[in-house]
Structure 1
Amino acid sequence: MSDNLRSISITLVAEAKQVKRFTLTQWRIAELALGDQGPIALQLQLSMTERAAYRFNLTSSAPRLFVRAGFTGQAPQPDAITASQDVAAGWMDGEQQVLEALMPMAIQVWIESYLARHGEAPVEVRKKKRKGAGRAKEMPANEPPR
């Protein structure tokens, strides 16, 4: 098995929520386990470009996994899983519903070892702008453009 790929089984459950006079069905992840024995099995694949996001997630008080589950307002159809909040945010920007669950300790240890093998993501350093850089210059009205 590759060092950046793990099977995760997911069990979803629907809950009825009362909002004023309306009843809504809200889905949540009831169980998340290693392996592909559950009703829904997805492949969690780690990516070198998301190492900073993995570290951010692991250092939070409650690391989470995020599951893309189809378009908002429809019955969930999970088709992808990630440990990166950045990826999950991109899914939500595309109007996808994203379910989340606490990350199992075994997955946390696996991601830690992945980061140890491949190194932490390089810290992004922004270049300092030169004074006045990026600003349009005013030209006298009688001078032709260059």
Structure 2
Amino acid sequence: MASISSTRPLSFEIVGEPLTIKGFATTRWRVADLAPGDVGPCRLNLQLYMTERAAYRFNLTSHTPRLFVRAGEAGEAPSPEAITASQEVAAGWLDGEHRVLEVDMPLAIQAWLEAYLAHHGEAPAESRKKQHKGAGRAREAES
């Protein structure tokens, strides 16, 4: 089987839409015109990692597979820095107080991600920790 690349260039635009919430003006930022290639105003490489295979499968089997763009610090003008197909990675970015923008995953990227998983195999099932007798239960009071 031919080797499957783990990197794809993506291009897109970050668009600001004025919004008023409870009388306060703000801007809602979104990713627009995301497509494979490197011809748009914003360009990032989507890098796949073997350790994230379970997260990729979870994303692909969701109702709407998504990509996540880390776009700088929350509260500042968006500045695209990284892109991922892993919701776990995106959650880590949010915990670090970064702005994360979501966008529908193009079908071409879904197909590439499926090929990557087919080539490298699904992530091994997470092994459950063995519970020791009585673990997780309140100890019975001795009389």
Tell me the CA shift for residue 30 of structure 1.
Answer: 1.6
Provide the aligned length of Structure 1 versus Structure 2.
136
Higher radius of gyration, 1 or 2: 1
1:79-105 per-position Cα deviation (integer Å, ceiling 9, x unaligned): 100000000000000000000100000
SS in structure 2 of the partner of residue 111 of structure 1: helix
**58, 61, 66: which one aligns with 2:60:** 58
Corresponding residue number in structure 2 for 1:144:
none
Structure 2 CA distance for partners of 1:110 and 1:2, relative to 1, 3 Å: closer
Corresponding residue number in structure 1 for 2:133:
131
SS in structure 2 of the partner of residue 76 of structure 1: coil
Tell me the CA shift for residue 111 of structure 1.
Answer: 0.4
The percentage of aligned residue pairs carrying the same residue is: 63
Tell me the CA shift for residue 127 of structure 1.
Answer: 2.4
- Asked if residue 84 in structure 1 is aligned to residue 52 in structure 2, the reply is no
Task: Assess if the C-alpha contact under 8 Å between 2:67 and 2:103 holds in 1.
Answer: yes
1:43-99 per-position Cα deviation (integer Å, ceiling 9, x unaligned): 000000000000000000100000000010000000100000000000000000000
Q: TM-score, normalised by structure 1?
A: 0.88
- Asked if residue 36 in structure 1 is aligned to residue 38 in structure 2, the reply is yes
Corresponding residue number in structure 1 for 2:110:
108
SS in structure 1 of the partner of residue 79 of structure 2: coil
Tell me the CA shift for residue 125 of structure 1.
Answer: 1.8
Instruction: Measure, in 1, the Cα distance between the counterparts of 2:89 and 2:52.
Output: 8
Corresponding residue number in structure 2 for 1:15:
17
Tell me the CA shift for residue 2 of structure 1.
Answer: 6.6
**14, 25, 42: which one aligns with 2:27:** 25
SS in structure 2 of the partner of residue 50 of structure 1: helix
| Larger relative contact order, structure 1 or 2 (CA cutoff 8 Å, min sep 6) | 2
Gaps of 5+ in 2: none
Gaps of 5+ in 1: 138-146
RMSD: 1.8
Instruction: Measure, in 1, the Cα distance between the counterparts of 2:136 and 2:57.
Output: 34
Q: TM-score, normalised by structure 2?
A: 0.90
Structure 2 CA distance for partners of 1:21 and 1:134, relative to 1, 3 Å: closer
Equivalent AA in structure 1 for residue 36 of structure 2? L
Structure 2 CA distance for partners of 1:21 and 1:133, relative to 1, 3 Å: closer
